[in-house]
Amino acid sequence: MSKRTNKLEAINLDAYYGDFQALKGINIAMEEKNVTAFIGPSGCGKSTFLRTFNRMNDYIEGFRTEGEILMDGRDIYAKEVRVDELRKEVGMVFQKPNPFPKSIFENVVYGLKIQGIKKKAILEEAAEKSLKRAALWNEVKDNLNKSALALSGGQQQRLCIARALAISPSVLLMDEPASALDPLSTAKIEELIYELKNDYTIVIVTHNMQQAGRVSDNTAFFYMGELVEYAKTKTMFTSPQDNRTQNYITGRFG
Partner 1 sequence: MTNSDINRLKDKAFQAFGIFCTFIGLVVLGIFLFDIILEGVQRIDWDFLTTLPSRRASRAGILTAWVGTVWILVLTTLIAFPLGVSAGVYLEEYSRKNKLNNFLEINIANLAGVPSIIYGLLGLEIFVRQMRLGNSLLAGALTLSLLILPIIIVTTREAIKAVPRSIRDGSYALGASQWQTIWNQVLPASFGGILTGIILALSRAVGEAAPLIVIGALAYVPFTPASPLDEFTVLPIQIFNWTSRPQGAFQTNAAAAIIILLIITFLLNGIAVYLRNRQQKKIKW
Q: Which is nearer to partner 1, 160 or 204 (CB)?
A: 160
Instruction: Quote the least distance from Cβ 61 to partner 1, whole Å.
Output: 7
The length of the chain in residues reads 254
The binder of partner 1 chosen from 149, 187, 224, 231 (CB under 8 A): 149
Q: Which is nearer to partner 1, 96 or 214 (CB)?
A: 96
Q: Which is nearer to partner 1, 45 or 169 (CB)?
A: 169
Q: Which stretch binds partner 1 (CB under 8 A): 67-75, 135-143, 158-166, 212-220?
A: 158-166
Q: Which is nearer to partner 1, 168 or 247 (CB)?
A: 168
Applying CB under 8 A, the site for partner 1 has a residue count of 26
- Backbone angles phi and psi of 38, in degrees to 5: -100, 120
What's the DSSP call for residue 240? -
- Among 197, 192, 62, 54, CA closest to 132: 192
Say if CB 14 and CB 25 are below 8 A apart.
yes
Q: Report if residue 56 touches partner 1, rule: CB under 8 A.
A: yes
CA 196 – CA 50 distance, rounded (Å): 18
Q: Judging by beta carbons within 10 Å of its beta carbon (0-12, 13-18, 19+), is residue 145 exposed, middle or buried?
A: exposed
Instruction: Quote the least distance from Cβ 110 to partner 1, whole Å.
Output: 6
Instruction: Quote the least distance from Cβ 247 to partner 1, whole Å.
Output: 33
Which residues make Cβ contacts (< 8 Å) with residue 208, sequence separation at least 6? 178, 179
- Among 217, 195, 221, CA closest to 207: 221
List the x/- string, 104-143, binding to partner 1 by CB under 8 A.
------xx-xxx----------------------------
The binder of partner 1 chosen from 7, 46, 133, 163 (CB under 8 A): 163
Q: Judging by beta carbons within 10 Å of its beta carbon (0-12, 13-18, 19+), is residue 184 exposed, middle or buried?
A: exposed
What's the DSSP call for residue 148? G
Instruction: Quote the least distance from Cβ 139 to partner 1, whole Å.
Output: 21
**What is the binding site for partner 1 (CB under 8 A)?**
54, 56, 59, 61, 84-85, 87-88, 91-92, 94, 96, 98-101, 110-111, 113-115, 149, 160, 163-164, 167
